[in-house]
Chains A and B, each alone.
Chain A
Amino acid sequence: AQSVAQPEDQVNVAEGNPLTVKCTYSVSGNPYLFWYVQYPNRGLQFLLKYITGDNLVKGSYGFEAEFNKSQTSFHLKKPSALVSDSALYFCAVRDIGFQKLVFGTGTRLLVSP
């Protein structure tokens, strides 16, 4: 079965520093990977996706993710963190089948001033 793992429950970063939120995947066939962000008391918002093509995917709010097939990873990155980036981040993979996404457990990002 398709799955993703987010090994860190929480990531702490100082404002202005680069951030990385980790995600590894396990799939049969080609991986179709997504990142979502959830701000407090809000629904999930789409950030970016990897379907095919360039391994570096650029998304919303200055985020990007690097697809690495050999390491089966899809880490989310941002060159310079903002306090407003503090939120819960979910990695997801499209399941075998019809549109279904399998989400990771989420990583809480805290950016300190």
Chain B
Amino acid sequence: DAGVIQSPRHEVTEMGQEVTLRCKPISGHNSLFWYRQTMMRGLELLIYFNNNVPIDDSGMPEDRFSAKMPNASFSTLKIQPSEPRDSAVYFCASSSRAGLAGGLSSYNEQFFGPGTRLTVL
């Protein structure tokens, strides 16, 4: 398996521009997570999906951020308009959750993509 795929790997844009980050989870995984990592704030969970449905978006910093998962093999994180403080590395991760709720399979590990380094000038 190719693992979690993210694109682009690097993005440099100017303040005010729209940025779209893309993620392809591991085939068969039904949970997808978007994280942001900065030196100041560490690793932050932005939003996660189960079976393409957003479950918890409490980490999304503000309305400028939006995420979608139109199908099981693709997700996007969009920032519009972008600001310099959005500069960070954005990670996508996926995991599987086979079995019944509360079963041990609920605690499967997450597999991370290589990240997208975003620089907003």
Tell me the smallest distance from the CB of B18 to a CB of chain A, in Å: 24
Cβ–Cβ < 8 Å partners of B56 in chain A: 97-98, 100
Do B48 and A49 touch across chains, with their CB atoms under 8 A apart?
Answer: no
Asked if A46 meets B111 with Cβ closer than 8 Å, knowing A99-B50, A99-B97, A106-B42, the reply is yes
Tell me the smallest distance from the CB of A82 to a CB of chain B, in Å: 22
B45 within 8 A of A: yes
Tell me the smallest distance from the CB of A95 to a CB of chain B, in Å: 9
Interface residue count for A (Cβ, 8 Å)? 22
Binds A, one of B69-77, B80-88, B112-120: B112-120
What does DSSP make chain B's interface, helix, strand, loop or mixed?
Answer: strand
Do A105 and B107 touch across chains, with their CB atoms under 8 A apart?
Answer: no
Assembly CA distance A34 to B110 (angstroms): 10
Asked if A94 meets B107 with Cβ closer than 8 Å, knowing A45-B112, A105-B42, the reply is yes
Of the listed residues A32, A41, A43, A51, the one surrounded by the most CB atoms of chain B closer than 10 A to its CB is A43
Question: Contact mask A86-113 → B, CB, 8 Å, 1/0?
Answer: 0000100010011111010110000000
Do A34 and B109 touch across chains, with their CB atoms under 8 A apart?
Answer: yes
Assembly CA distance A37 to B52 (angstroms): 27
Q: Which residue of A has the minimal Cβ distance to B110?
A: A101
Cβ–Cβ < 8 Å partners of A103 in chain B: 42-43, 45
Cβ–Cβ < 8 Å partners of B31 in chain A: 99
- Chain A stretch 21-77: residues in CB contact (< 8 A) with chain B: 32, 34, 36, 41-46, 49, 51-52
Do A51 and B104 touch across chains, with their CB atoms under 8 A apart?
Answer: yes
Do A43 and B107 touch across chains, with their CB atoms under 8 A apart?
Answer: no
Asked if A100 meets B43 with Cβ closer than 8 Å, knowing A46-B110, A52-B104, the reply is no
